[in-house]
Amino acid sequence: MRYQLFCDYLERLEGTSKRLEITKILVELITRLDEREVAAGVYLSLGYLNPPYNQLKFNMADKMVVRALAQAFGLTQSFVEASYGTSGDLGSVAKTLAEKAKKTKPVSITEMHRELVKLAKDVGTGSQERKVKLLAGTLGNLDPLSAKYTVRIVLGTTRLGFTEQTFIDALSNIVAGDKSASLKIEEKYNIHPDIGMITRCVKKGGLKGLDEVQIETGIPVLSQKAQRLSEPAEIVGKVGGIAWVEYKLDGTRVQLHIDRNKPNMDTFIAQNELFDFNKDKILAKTFTRTLEENTHQFPDIIESALRQIKAQSIILDGEAIGYDPKTGKYIPFQDTIQRKRKHDVGEYAKQIPMKYIVFDILFLNGKALTGMPLTKRHALLEQSLIEGGEIEIAQHIATSNPTKLWQHFELAKAKNLEGVIIKNPDAGYRAGAREFNWIKLKKSNTDLLEDTIDCVVLGYYLGRGSRVNFGIGGFLCGIWDPDKQRYVTLTKVGTGLRDEEWIELKQRCDKIKLNKPATNIEVAKALIPDVVTKPKIVVELGGDEITISKTHTSGFALRFPRLITFRSDKPPTETTSPKEILTLHKLARKGS
């Protein structure tokens, strides 16, 4: 397919916010793309180059793209900057400049994908100049629409209002004529989250083509999630008998992959001085719940894993949490997350040693275990791990007695832990699902709205008064509604941040600002922020209570919200759900 035709589809997608219309357009696009190019087409329409676990980043700021546009069309930087200041969207600027230049060189979608991969991979000394030159050469030969969307892809501002789930629904329409096959396709995506590959397999062999999609080391599985309840008797009833009760730790979710028969896919481990022996023949990786590789954060856990794990290949699910080496007590998430830094990790590893508390095993010696009951998985986990290191198996009690469950919960509170997770020991591991086989009971559930809420920042309001120097005085937060496949608003936050946090938030927002709200964001006109952002920054908020709201599109409002912390370990589609907000609202009313 010509890249120009592909961009025509992107323009059509941008022109509608109706889910059925978007799905219909995606069905047409997938049908017209051939098998060799369909994965590239899927990735580019979502605004990236590779699946999330193997993502390439362009690392090109607005100023670099301004320089590229100036070079591409023989203009001064000041002229392009002025045009940008007027329109607020460099993609639109690129379109206007290409219309005036009237130079077009046909290019296929695979050729463009290859060119953009080359652009993203250019790193090191002098790479900024080379990137600007390469992008300029590309843009100078594109038609107006192609120039517009190429710039937006590079800057990460495509804002077309759909997700991988929309592609899953489109694929179901292709093979079944409706959404009846979506669940089967989604289950495969959840264990192998590469929507480009999934689309290629369905295009090649229909639903039968999905048989080749399996769990494999080096590719993260979407994490199973817990529902929220507050009454021990109700929890025991949901589990349906004996329940396993584990402590809920305030760490960061980590999925660990080890494969002694598969070479490492990059040179990080082999070259990193934090590892004291050669591991270049071993795949050893960790992933976040957002599917990003974060192996660099946990050299001590990788080191320990290669000593403690007896298996040839394994995938583990657990929580990484820092601890005080003097007292042995766990430390708060805000301190643990310091390991996110890519520099000085060795120093932080000494200051903040980590434990990896494993609560599940998904894959062992070439075999997927997700269909097995938890009891059998746990037995295999115990057989696969040697004691004595940074990796420990999560402890649990087994009970069907609500009183004992509550006592264990109170013990978690006494230890200053988040609460407990209650699991059905007879259930399999449901990748990506949020079901009652896992239930969380957090200490804050019991104390009105001591509970925190995970939200995504949708934009900010300009500073006034004492905050005028910051350029930010408040921000709008929303939550992801999985039923609507939309972000809906919940609260405006204007207090609770230190000066440095206001500055950090503005800097982060400015990197992902949009010209207008994306089509998958529902926001009342009166609440539209001065600066709209891509839904990407997840924050944990506290508040006094949840009330019914006619203004916020979630139908609820969080009163007196305050920032607890940034949650970079969570994807924006894993915020607190509207159903959970309703539960918290009912709990507060019941408590009062």
**pLDDT tens digits along 276-295:** 444 457 899 999 988 999 99
Could you tell me if 357 and 410 lie in one domain?
yes
pLDDT band, residue 328 (cuts 50/70/90): confident
Q: Which of 402, 421, 445 is the last residue of a domain?
A: 445
Q: Of the given ranges (129-143, 166-180, 470-484), which has the lowest mean pLDDT?
A: 470-484
Could you tell me the residue range of the domain that residue 206 belongs to?
A: 164-212
Q: Is residue 322 part of a domain?
A: yes
pLDDT band, residue 418 (cuts 50/70/90): confident
Output the six-digit token pair for 383.
Answer: 């057989």
Q: Residue 346's pLDDT is what?
A: 61
Could you tell me if 18 and 62 lie in one domain?
yes
Our count of domains for the chain comes to 4
Q: What is the mean pLDDT of residues 494-509?
A: 85
Q: Please report, for the domain that includes residue 272, its CATH number.
A: 3.30.470.30
**CA-closest candidate to residue 93, choices 68, 118, 114, 113:** 68
Question: Any idea which residue has 């509550």 for tokens?
Answer: 406
SS3 of residue 525 by DSSP? helix
pLDDT band, residue 439 (cuts 50/70/90): very high
- 365 burial level (CB within 10 Å; 0-12, 13-18, 19+): middle
Q: Residue 415's pLDDT is what?
A: 87
> Is 407 a residue whose pLDDT tops 70?
yes
pLDDT band, residue 465 (cuts 50/70/90): low
SS3 of residue 495 by DSSP? coil
Q: Residue 320's pLDDT is what?
A: 94
Could you tell me if 380 and 310 lie in one domain?
yes
The residue type found at 298 is F
pLDDT band, residue 484 (cuts 50/70/90): confident
Q: What is the mean pLDDT of residues 117-146?
A: 95
Q: Is residue 228 part of a domain?
A: no
What are the tens digits of pLDDT across the range 528-581? 999 999 999 999 998 888 889 989 999 999 988 888 888 888 889 889 999 889
Q: The dihedral of CA 497, 501, 503, 504: what is its sign?
A: negative
Could you tell me if 208 and 272 lie in one domain?
no
User: Between vectors from CA 37 to CA 34 and to CA 43, what angle results, nearest 5°?
Assistant: 125
Q: Residue 277's pLDDT is what?
A: 41
SS3 of residue 284 by DSSP? strand
Instruction: Name the pTM for this structure.
Output: 0.81
Q: Is residue 222 part of a domain?
A: no
Could you tell me if 190 and 255 lie in one domain?
no
Q: Is residue 351 part of a domain?
A: yes
What are the tens digits of pLDDT across the range 185-198? 999 999 999 999 99
Q: Residue 66's pLDDT is what?
A: 96
d(CA 468, CA 499): 12
The residue type found at 158 is T
- 344 burial level (CB within 10 Å; 0-12, 13-18, 19+): exposed
What is the full DSSP assignment across 334-382? HHHGGGG-SSSHHHHHHHS-EEEEEEEEEEETTEE-TTS-HHHHHHHHH
Q: Of the given ranges (435-449, 456-470, 490-504, 526-540), which has the lowest mean pLDDT?
A: 435-449
Q: Is residue 218 part of a domain?
A: no
> Is 97 a residue whose pLDDT tops 80?
yes
Give 171-202 as a 3 state SS string: HHHHHHCCHHHHHHHHHHHHHCCCHHHHHHHH
Q: Residue 347's pLDDT is what?
A: 62
**CA-closest candidate to residue 25, choices 45, 43, 39, 40:** 45
Could you tell me if 176 and 313 lie in one domain?
no
> Is 270 a residue whose pLDDT tops 70?
no
Q: Is residue 510 part of a domain?
A: yes
d(CA 567, CA 252): 9
Count CB atoms within 10 A of the CB of residue 222: 20
Q: Residue 342's pLDDT is what?
A: 54
Instruction: Check if the beta carbon of residue 189 is closer than 8 Å to that of residue 28.
Output: no
SS3 of residue 420 by DSSP? strand
Could you tell me if 248 and 337 lie in one domain?
yes
**CA-closest candidate to residue 151, choices 101, 76, 92:** 92
Instruction: Check if the beta carbon of residue 549 is closer than 8 Å to that of residue 455.
Output: no
Q: Please report, for the domain that includes residue 461, its CATH number.
A: 2.40.50.140
Q: Is residue 134 part of a domain?
A: yes
Could you tell me if 435 and 482 lie in one domain?
no
What are the tens digits of pLDDT across the range 214-234? 999 999 999 999 988 878 999
Q: What is the mean pLDDT of residues 319-345?
A: 74
Q: Which of 445, 469, 488 is the last residue of a domain?
A: 445
248 in active site:
yes
Catalytic choice (95, 131, 248, 440): 248
> Is 341 a residue whose pLDDT tops 80?
no
What is the Cβ-side half-sphere exposure of residue 86, based on CA atoms within 13 angstroms? 9
SS3 of residue 17 by DSSP? coil
Could you tell me if 401 and 492 lie in one domain?
no
Q: What is the mean pLDDT of residues 8-12?
A: 96
- How much of the chain, in percent, has pLDDT values that exceed 90? 65
Instruction: Give residue 59's region: left, alpha or beta (phi > 0; psi -120 to 50).
Output: left
Instruction: Check if the beta carbon of residue 534 is closer than 8 Å to that of residue 518.
Output: yes
Could you tell me if 173 and 204 lie in one domain?
yes
Q: Is residue 555 part of a domain?
A: yes
Q: Residue 67's pLDDT is what?
A: 96
Mean pLDDT of the chain, nearest integer: 89
The residue type found at 459 is G
d(CA 552, CA 559): 12
The residue type found at 552 is H
Q: Residue 450's pLDDT is what?
A: 57
Could you tell me if 458 and 332 lie in one domain?
no
